[in-house]
Every structure is written in C-alpha cells, then in structure tokens.
Structure 1
Amino acid sequence: MVVSMTGFGRSKAESERFSVTVEVKTVNHRFCEFHIRMPRQLLKLEEKIKKKLGEHINRGRVEVFVTLEGEGIVSRSVHIDWEALDEFVHHITEIKNRYSLTGDLEIRDVVSREEIIHIEEKEAENEELEQLVLSAVDEAGGQLVHMRKLEGKALEEDVLQYIELLKGNITNVKQLAPDVVVQYRERLSRKMAELLDAQADEDRIHTEAAFFADKADISEELARLESHISQFKEIMKVNEPLGRKLDFLLQEMNREVNTIGSKANDSRIAREVVDMKSLLEKVKEQVQNIE
C-alpha cells in the first residue's frame, strides 16, 4: 500500500481539569525525525509521545505541537528566608540609627528582594494529564495516517500512469530495435559501394553488420527494464514502508535506460529514451513523498 509522507492530524482531549490540543504535521524525509514543541511541564513525556507516534509513522519529518490549558498544572508556593529577612531588617535599623536617617521600612522594600521572598513553582505529578496527552497524540496520529493514505492513493495513481506510459515507450523501442541493424546494413552497403565504385563485398558487409548488431543489442536491457517495472508494481501492493525500495528500483531503471540510449545509436530510439528519462524523473518526484 502506498502511503504518503505528507499529512496532518489534530485532536483535542479534555477532562474536568485539563484541555490538551495536539497537532501533528509530516513532510518527506529520508528517516523518521521528530520535532516536538510543548509546554515545559510536559517535556518528561517526550519519549512517550515519540513512541506513541511511532506506532503510526515509519518515515518522514514529524512536527508535533502540544498546547495545554487547565488548573493545577503547576503548584505555586511562597518561600521566605526568615533568617535573611531578620538580618536585612536588623541592618536597615542599624543604618538608620548610625547615620540618623529618616524613613520607615515598607513591606514593598521586602517583597522586592528575591533573595528573601520568592515564589516557587513545582510541576504537579498527574497521571490523568499524562493519559490525556497520550490519548490526544494517539488520535491525532490516527487522523494523520488517514490523510497520508488518501494522499498515497493519489500518488499511486500518478505513478502507475507514468509507468504505463513508460511501458509504451519500451514497446516502441522494441519495434524500432530490429530496424536499426537493417538500416545500418543498408548504409554500410551503399558506403562500401561508393568507395569501391562497384559491388560491395557481401561477406564483409555481413561481418560488419553482425558486429554492429551485437554491439547495439539492447534486448537484455529492455528485458531487465521490463522486469524492474513488474517488480516496481508488485512492491507498490505490499503493506509496508516501500519508498526506499521503489527509489532503488528507479535507480536501476535509469541505468538501463541510459545504457539503451548509448548502445542503440538511432535518433528515433534516442527520442524514446528522452521520453523515458523524463517519465522516470516524474516518478522519482512522486516516490520521494512515499513512506
């Protein structure tokens, strides 16, 4: 089954205390690479989120956005360093007395001193919140896969269309190939007759034509190309990640097409080769988006 690496999924999970929204976006990538953005208090769940999404995704660049709302996410408490406060007040009083200064010590003079009084935040351990986040991640991953499969279906249709056109080019080349040797023999016969100004040596023409036919024989390349195409179509039916396998086969198909172009030595076949290379390039563009 063809699955695209491009997709998007979104889910929102709520309880009486919390509301979690998860968005997952994927694009093509050689490997499976995660980029997760979420509130600091959820960072401890990063590996669990990756593992949960790994149940849905095998390949691609994965961008995850988690937003969190609710009460009790972080507990806050006021911390006062009483010893530091006593010492601070004592020294302020001593300074006033020693230098006969006026003015009273206000509460704002104390609360502004972070080394004396400050608010401590502590992330609440909450199993309910963890389950809520992972549930939203799982649902968003499911939506993402659904979209990737729909995109994959469209990719499959485009790729198979190009493959059918490629098979048409191969048929044309197979029809043209025998005529290449015949035309070479005719050209060789005329050339030798002109040079010798008489009847050309048939034995020599036959030998030269046989040598050319062997050198220009592209039957093996055509057979391998057709085999690669059959294998390509079979792989597309497999229910597993197949992008890398298809990409490898495309490299082999390109190699055969290039060899056909270099060996055939015929302008008509050369035009077919150009068309085949163009089609393979289009297939490659689509395969690069397949998981």
Structure 2
Amino acid sequence: MAFRSMTGFGRSQGKVGPYDVALEVKSVNHRFSEFTVRLPREWAAFEEGLRSRLQSAVSRGRVDVFVNVADFAVTDAHIDVNWPLLDALLAVEQGLAARLGGRVEPQTARDWLMYPGVLIQRKAALDETEMAARLGSLLDAALAQLVKARRDEGARLAENCEGKLAMLEEHLSIVQARGPVAIEEKRQALARRVAELGIEIDQTRMAQEVVLFAERSAIDEELVRLQSHVAAFREAMTKDEPVGRRLDFLVQEMHREINTIGSKSTDPDISQRVVEMKVIVEQLREQVQNVE
C-alpha cells in the first residue's frame, strides 16, 4: 500500500563550502502544506531553492527545516593587518617619544592590534552556486529519510485502518440480516397487541401498518452506500498518491449514512450496532487525520 503518514523526521550533515552543516527536517499533520525554513541570516538567498525541493517531495503537512552551521562566524572570518595604518601609528609613537624625551610608555603588540582599523576582517570569496547545490543535496538526503519514515508510519496506519474496515463490515452484515427480522418481529408484536386488546382488525389494515413501518425503517439504500464507501476507502489505500483528503471525505460520508440508519431504525439490536459503527468510524477519522 502507498499510504503515507504526515509525521516524519530526517537528518543529514556535511560540508557546504568551508562550513560544517547539520540539516534537520521534521513534519507533522496539517490540513494543507506549510513549509518553514530556518537558515542563518547570511544564507537567506538559499531559502527559495530549498522550498522548491520541499514542494517536490511533500504535498501535505507542516514541514520545518533547520539548518545549523557550526562556528559560522569563525569559519567565515579572514583577518588581515592594516600595515600602512600600523606603520603610521608606530611612526607617531616614535616621534612623540623623541619630542618628549622618551617619557612615553611603550605600547605592546596587543595594544596596537586593539587600535580601531588595525585589524581588518573580510569575507571569504565563496561560490554561492556550488554552496546552494550542496545545501540542496543535504536537504534531499534528509528528505529521503523523512519520506521513508512517513511511508513506514503510513503502512502501520493502513494496517490499522484495514482492521477497522473489517470490523465495520462485520457490523454491516449483522445489520443487513437484522432488517427483515425486525420487520417480522414488528408484525408479530402488532398481532399480539391486537389479540391482547380483544379487538378485530382487518388483515389488510394490519398489512398496511406493517408496510408503513417497513418503509419508514428501510435502510437498504444507506447500507449499500455505506458498503460503497468502505470499498472506495480500500481502493484509495492502494493508490500511489496523496489520498488523505479523499479519505477524510469518505469517513464523513460513512458517518452520515450511519446516522441515518440510526434515526430510521427503532430496533434495539440495530441501534446497538449503530453505536459500535460510530465508534469505529470515529477511530478511522482520527487515523485519517495523519494521512498525506
């Protein structure tokens, strides 16, 4: 079966340019598709490309991507000394010492490096196209794990749903067989009541009452539609495409038919089965909420 859950997690790590990067992607259930990409501010330009890859891999669910860069500031820093400025400062110090007769406390190397402008930090020249491709590869690797996790969880969901469908069909069969029996029991109950009252009633009138009862409590159409929804649910589970919304619709229709059966029938046995079927359909609905 091609069921896919909306819950999953994936992780990858590797080099992106000079940086050590760890990328995590996780997803949870959501009515639609919603993507959040958290990148270092300096890498904001890479977000659109990552979103495009997400849209190709995931059609439904909330997906969060976390890109963590180890020692971002240190790796990116290239420090140079502003030698002309330092030479000029040293010349000033020497001139000042000569003018004051050597009464100037000498500066240490650390003192000079702390002087504004002596140290120059410059950004490394990086190939952003290559970095974007590498970052995309890391996302693809994490997404492969995510998709596998969603498929594995989907297989468990499908197995669970199949068990619920089998239970639902069992109750359906009992209700279907019980319908004619309930009508006959109603006819017998009417006959006993008439006999107890000691009154005479035309058999044609008696038959009409039974027919009216049968028409009011007829649930054949609802049972057929309910069986059709069960079959459609099973068929959807075999499709290699997102079916979560379709299954959600089918569960709603199942619930509608079961409610109608319950409102039409006055038979205690059927009413009890209706309660059981409602419980099963509600359990199906909970499972379907996490299907892509």
- CA 1:194 to 1:264, structure 2 compared with 1: closer, same or farther past 3 Å? same
User: How many Å apart are 1:190 and its aligned residue?
Assistant: 2.2
Q: The residue matched to 2:240 in structure 1 has which SS? A: coil
| 2:166 aligned residue | 164
Task: State the Cα deviation string for residues 3-38 of structure 1 (Å, max 9, x = none).
Answer: 010001011122672222111000100011112222
In structure 1, distance between residues paired with 2:207 and 2:76: 92
Aligned ranges 1:1-291 → 2 under 5 Å: 1-14=2-15, 17-69=18-70, 74=76, 125-126=126-127, 127-195=129-197, 197-291=198-292
User: How many Å apart are 1:200 and its aligned residue?
Assistant: 3.4
RMSD (CA atoms): 3.1
User: How many Å apart are 1:237 and its aligned residue?
Assistant: 0.7
- Asked whether the 8 Å contact 1:193–1:200 carries over to 2, the reply is no
Q: TM-score, normalised by structure 1?
A: 0.82
Once the two structures are overlaid, the 10-residue window that deviates more, 272-281 or 44-53, is 44-53
Which contiguous aligned blocks of 4+ residues in structure 1 show a shift greater than 4 angstroms? 70-73, 75-78, 116-125
- Asked whether the 8 Å contact 2:5–2:151 carries over to 1, the reply is yes
Task: State the Cα deviation string for residues 86-111 of structure 1 (Å, max 9, x = none).
Answer: xxxxxxxxxxxxxxxxx99x998xx7
In structure 1, distance between residues paired with 2:290 and 2:16: 37
Q: The residue matched to 1:55 in structure 2 has which SS? A: helix
Task: State the Cα deviation string for residues 54-94 of structure 1 (Å, max 9, x = none).
Answer: 2211111101111123678645679x9x9xxxxxxxxxxxx
Task: State the Cα deviation string for residues 219-268 of structure 1 (Å, max 9, x = none).
Answer: 00000000111111011111110000000011011100000011111110
User: How many Å apart are 1:124 and its aligned residue?
Assistant: 5.3
User: How many Å apart are 1:158 and its aligned residue?
Assistant: 0.2
Q: The residue matched to 2:233 in structure 1 has which SS? A: helix
User: How many Å apart are 1:191 and its aligned residue?
Assistant: 2.2
- Asked whether the 8 Å contact 1:32–1:58 carries over to 2, the reply is yes
User: How many Å apart are 1:119 and its aligned residue?
Assistant: 7.0
Once the two structures are overlaid, the 10-residue window that deviates more, 162-171 or 121-130, is 121-130
In structure 1, distance between residues paired with 2:122 and 2:67: 21
In structure 1, distance between residues paired with 2:159 and 2:245: 19
User: How many Å apart are 1:129 and its aligned residue?
Assistant: 2.2
Residue identity over aligned pairs, in percent, reads: 40
